[in-house]
Structure 1
Amino acid sequence: MKELGRTTHLSLIGLIALALLNGKALAQPEPQTQVHRASPHHAQWHTFEGRSGCHLVHEIASVGTALISYRHTDGRQFLSFFARTPPRSQHEGDLYISEPSWGSDRRSHIERLMVHPHQRTLRFSNRTTNRLLDALRQGLEPQFNYPSAHSDQEVKVALTPAAFQNAHRHYIECIDRHERVDAGTASRGAVIPGRTGEAMADSGGGVWEGSLPRLPRGPRADIYFATASDDLTRDAINEIRDFVRDLEDNPHWGVVLSIGYADTRGSPQANEQLARERAQRVRDELVRLGIPERRINIEARLLESDELEEDTYELAKNRRVELRTAL
């Protein structure tokens, strides 16, 4: 009987010890979520000038790219964050302004965010963009948190003020140059080539600080025509409408290039005219849907024999219009 009581007593002690250990385990703080930011020694901000405005870009390796654009037509500024891996569905997140990584851990909550399951994951208004630019100028650090696409943890991203001041100075100079265009005392910059997969004819003269990181790709579409025709089909009109919705949802891209194609069979003059008429027909539909004509450039191209597409779809590649965008 004594032995039984002793065994029971030891069992109780063991259970109590196990409970205490479990309690300690439960009391352990969760590991802090990593804040993704460029280190002060490797941070880069770049300024470049496009035909429709001025741009600041900051890349955070493996996470995404922040793009700030000044739009010449209305003087508005927009900041967007293009995540490498957007969330799978729409969520809410939070925007903070904090001390930089080498300062204290104080931060202020600015606003709730809508987080989109698209390449352009975070979108800031003109008012908020100006506030964040002010913070960066003061050496502070905008931070935004949003749900991860792969786990229950949050993604935390910070825009470091390191290396910002010099790039921002060039950005302000670019804005000043654009504002002086209307007075006839300066010429507007050219579109930066290769940013959306399509180099443009007047691509010289862009000004930027350092070598540009790879920028997000802008809206694009391919519009197909019937053989020897420049009439828009119902499918073509729907494709153009989708492109316009995408363009309106991406205010950074101010230039639209409508490139008409035809092959070299038959008269080159007739083919070039057909390619141009197709591009013009697409431009007219874009204007009808609300895109200002001044934003649209027209090109006509003839495909050489080594580029001709021989397939059962009546050489569709040779009777299309490419819609491409540039900053």
Structure 2
Amino acid sequence: PPPATPPATQPQATQPTPPATGGAGTVGNEGTGGSGTQPGEGANMAADAGTGGSGDVEKQTAGAAGSQQAEDAGTGGSGQEKMRASDPNSLREAFNGPSAEQGFVLEGVEFKTGSSQLTKSSQRMVGELGDVMQEKSDARVRINGFTDSTGDANANRQLSESRAESVRRALVRRGIPQDRIEVSGEGDANPIAPNDTPEGRVQNRRIEVQVLGQ
């Protein structure tokens, strides 16, 4: 019986057990360390990446906004966009509005081809302008004539001035003092549409009214 005890004690040394415990501890530490480090770094990297990404997006957005502003500024700054007066209400709005000094297009004023003679249909809008100037008895205006780019530039300038003068004479016939009206022939300067299409040339042949004071 006494010798039987040592063999039972020897297996009880359980050498495998400490390695298993230690191994588990090591694995646990490595796992904990790994999980602690990796998520931490991953989270920080993700956060940094996210922050950097957000910053880039904001910069891109700001850049896009800047581009949009630049584009808008380019459109507005070109001076090509003009208010248009096509009836009595829009005419009064344009005449009294903040853009009056910059000038507005008096739509419906047309001339016979190659001539400074007003068409009959043009008399209506010229008459409406005369009515507004009667109401604004202190107002002075400049009538600016424009043509398209077809033909000789000097001839276009002379024609545009003659057309502006025709509008002035029509206003004078309606009782507006001549000294309240200036005229200017701009020719094919400052086009508001492309001259390479018939539609564009029609838009560029125009009369603009610039309010000088009221």
TM-score range, shorter chain: 0.3 to 0.5
Normalized against structure 1, the TM-score is what?
A: 0.32
Structure showing the higher strand proportion among its residues: 1
Normalized against structure 2, the TM-score is what?
A: 0.46
Rg larger for: 2
**Per chain length, whose mean CA-contact separation is higher, i.e. which structure has more relative contact order (CA < 8 Å, sep 6+)?**
2
Structure showing the higher helix proportion among its residues: 2
